[in-house]
Structure 1
C-alpha cells in the first residue's frame, strides 16, 4: 500500500469513525453535539497520525498479503493499535470536554470498544474491496 492509499485509508476510516462516535456519545452522554464533534475531530486527527505510523510499523513486522492475515493477527493488530491510542486520547478528551480523567476514561473506553469492532470490520472489508478493485475478483483466505 503506497502513501496515497494509506492516507485515503486513514481519512476514510476516521471520517466514518467520527460520525459514528459522535452519534454514540450524543446518545449516551449529556454533552453538546458540537463539543463532541470538535473533540472527536481532534481525537480522529491524533488517531490518523497514529494509524499511519502504527500500520507502517505493523506491516514491517507482519509481512505478506493482508488479505491472508489470520483472525489472530487481525485481533492483535486492532488491540495494539487501540491500546497505544488510549495513552494520548484520554487526557485530550478530559481537557476538551472539561471532565475528569476517570470520566474521560469511561467515555474513551466506550468509544474504543466501538472503534475496535469497527476497525476490525472496516479493515476486513477494505482489504477485500481493495483486492476486488485492483484485480477484479475477490480473494479468500486459505
Structure 2
C-alpha cells in the first residue's frame, strides 16, 4: 500500500468509526453528543496516527498479499492495534469526560470491543474491494 493509500484507508476508517461510535456512546451514556464528538474525534486523531505507524510496522513483519492474510493474523493485528490504542486513550477519556480512570476504562473497553469488530469487518472488506479493483484495473490495461 502506498503512503497516499494508507492515508485514504485511515481517514475512511475513522470517518465511519467516529459516526458510529458517537451514536452508540450517546445512546448508552448521559454525556452530550458535542462532548462525545470532541472526545471521539480526539481519539480518532490519535488512532489515525497510530494506525499509520502500527500498520507500517506490522506490514514489515507480515509480508505478502494483504487479502490472503489468515484469520489468526487478522485477529492478532486487531488485538495488538487496539491494545496499544487503549494505553493512550484511557487517560484522555477520563480527563475529557470527567470520569474516574475505572469509568474511562469501562467506556474505552466498550468502544474497543465495538471498534475491534468494526475494524475486522472494515479491513476485510477494504482488502477484498481493493484486490478486486486492482484486478479490474489490470484487466482493463491488458
Unaligned runs of 5+ in 2: 138-142
List 4+ stretches of structure 1 deviating above 4 A: none
CA distance in 2, matches of 1:54, 1:45: 14
Give the equivalent residue in structure 1 for 2:16.
Answer: 16
Q: What are the residue-to-residue correspondences of 1:55-134 with 2, within 5 Å?
A: 55-134=55-134
Q: Report the Cα offset of residue 118 of structure 1.
A: 0.3
Q: CA offset at residue 90 of structure 1?
A: 0.4
* Cα deviation 1:51-109 (Å, max 9, x = unaligned): 00000000000000001100000000000000000000000111111111111111100
Provide the C-alpha distance between the structure 2 equivalents of 1:24 and 1:90, rounded to a whole number of angstroms. 18
State the number of aligned residues.
Answer: 137
Return the alpha-carbon distance in structure 2 between the equivalents of residues 121 and 136 of structure 1: 22
Which position in structure 1 is the counterpart of 2:28?
Answer: 28
- Distance in 2 (CA, whole Å) between partners of 1:89 and 1:76 is 20
TM-score, normalising length: structure 2: 0.95
Q: What RMSD in Å do the two structures reach over aligned CA positions?
A: 0.9
Distance 1:136 1:26 in 2: 41
Deviation of the 1:41 alpha carbon: 0.2
The runs of 5 or more residues in structure 1 that have no matched partner are: 138-142
TM-score by length of 1: 0.95
* Cα offsets for 1:98-125 (capped at 9, x unmatched): 1111111111000000000000000000
